[in-house]
Amino acid sequence: MNFLWILLIVVVAVEATVLPETVTTVYGKIKGVTETLPSGNQVQFFKGIPFAKPPVGTLRFEKPQPPEPWTTTLNATSFGKQCVQFFLPPFNGATDSEDCLFINIARPTTPSIDPRGYPVMLYLFGGAFVTGSALSGHNAYANDALVTKGVILASINYRLGPLGYYSSRDLSAPGNYALWDIIQALQFIQDVIPQFGGDKNLLAGCDQVANKKECLKALSIEQLVNISAVSFRGGTLGGTAR
C-alpha cells in the first residue's frame, strides 16, 4: 500500500511540472511561448527557428548549410517568413522571402513520463512543389489532436518552384534543393529534439499528396538511416510529383 502511495506521488509530481519556455540547444538558447488553444488546452510553441543558413546569394542554388550558432537567446515567439510562392499569393496572407528555412516546434507543457521522451511528428506541407507553408501544419486542431496528447509536432518550410528544383545539369546548380532542405531539417531535429523532450529515434512524418514523393526520395539518402519510423497517410502518390 505504501508503494502505491509513493508511485502516485511521483506521477502527480511529474504531471504537475511545467516545462520552462527556454530551451538550450547545441545552437544556442531558444525562447518559446505557452499558448492556449480554443479547447482550453495549452501547448508550448517555438516558432521561426532557423534550421539552415539563409539560402541566398552564393547559397541560392546550393544544398542548405547548417545554421550558425547564436550567442543570445533566440526569440521564437512568432513565425518566420514563408518561402517564395509561385502562381498563388502567399499562404494565409503571410510574407514570403528567399530567407525562409525555418522550423516550428510545438510540444506539451509537461515532461514525458517515458524517459525516452515524446514521439516526434514532422509535418511537410503539400502544394504541388510551387506553393504552401509550414503555417498550415500548426492549426488549432492539429495542436490539440497531437501535441496535447503527447506528441511533439514540428513543421518546416522548404524551397519551392525553381528556387527548390532548378538544375543546370552540372555542379553549378545541381537541383533538388527542396529535398536537401528536408534532409537538413531532419538533421536539425536530430540535433535539438532531445532538448525539447523528444525521442530523436521515434520520428514520423508526411501528409498531403505532394510530400509523399519528397519523403520517398529522401529515404534513399544515407543521412536518414537513423530515422526509425516514417509514416505515410492518405492515398497514393499524386501525379504532380516527378
Say what the pLDDT of residue 112 is.
93
DSSP state of 131: S
- Give per-residue pLDDT as tens, 8-45: 444 444 455 889 999 999 999 999 999 999 989 999 99
Q: Is the pLDDT of residue 235 over 70?
A: no
Burial 30-46 (b: 16+ CB within 10 A, else e): bebeebeeeeebbbbbb
Q: Is residue 8 a part of any domain in this protein?
A: no
Q: Is residue 210 a part of any domain in this protein?
A: yes
- As a whole number, the mean pLDDT across the chain is 79
CA 151, 192, 67: angle at the middle one, nearest 5? 130
Say what the pLDDT of residue 230 is.
38
Say what the pLDDT of residue 209 is.
42
- Owning domain of residue 56: 21-224
DSSP state of 29: E
Global pTM reads 0.79
Q: Give the count of domains, the chain.
A: 1
Q: What percent of the chain has pLDDT over 90?
A: 49
Say what the pLDDT of residue 133 is.
87
Which band of pLDDT confidence, cut at 50, 70 and 90, is reported for residue 121? confident
Q: Is residue 239 a part of any domain in this protein?
A: no
Q: Is residue 186 a part of any domain in this protein?
A: yes
Q: What is the CATH number of the domain that holds 51?
A: 3.40.50.1820
- What DSSP element (H or E) covers 106? strand 102-107
Q: Is the pLDDT of residue 106 over 80?
A: yes
Q: Is residue 1 a part of any domain in this protein?
A: no
Helix (H, G, I), strand (E, B) or coil at 161: helix
From the list 208, 239, 148, 194, the residue with the least C-alpha distance to 26 is 194
From residue 186, alpha-carbon distances to 26, 181, 212, 236 in Å are 15, 9, 15, 23
Q: Who wins on pLDDT, 90 or 229?
A: 90
Which band of pLDDT confidence, cut at 50, 70 and 90, is reported for residue 132? confident
- Give per-residue pLDDT as tens, 184-225: 999 999 999 999 999 988 776 554 444 444 544 444 434 333
Q: Is residue 234 a part of any domain in this protein?
A: no
Q: Is residue 236 a part of any domain in this protein?
A: no
- Give per-residue pLDDT as tens, 37-82: 998 999 999 999 999 999 999 999 999 999 999 999 999 999 999 9
Q: How far is CA 151 from the centre of its chain?
A: 12
Say what the pLDDT of residue 46 is.
97
Which band of pLDDT confidence, cut at 50, 70 and 90, is reported for residue 93? low
Q: Which residues pair with 96 in a beta bridge?
A: 82
Q: Is the pLDDT of residue 141 over 60?
A: yes
Q: How far is CA 235 from the centre of its chain?
A: 23
Q: Is residue 233 a part of any domain in this protein?
A: no
DSSP state of 172: T
User: Whole-angstrom Cα distance, residue 143 to residue 41?
Assistant: 9
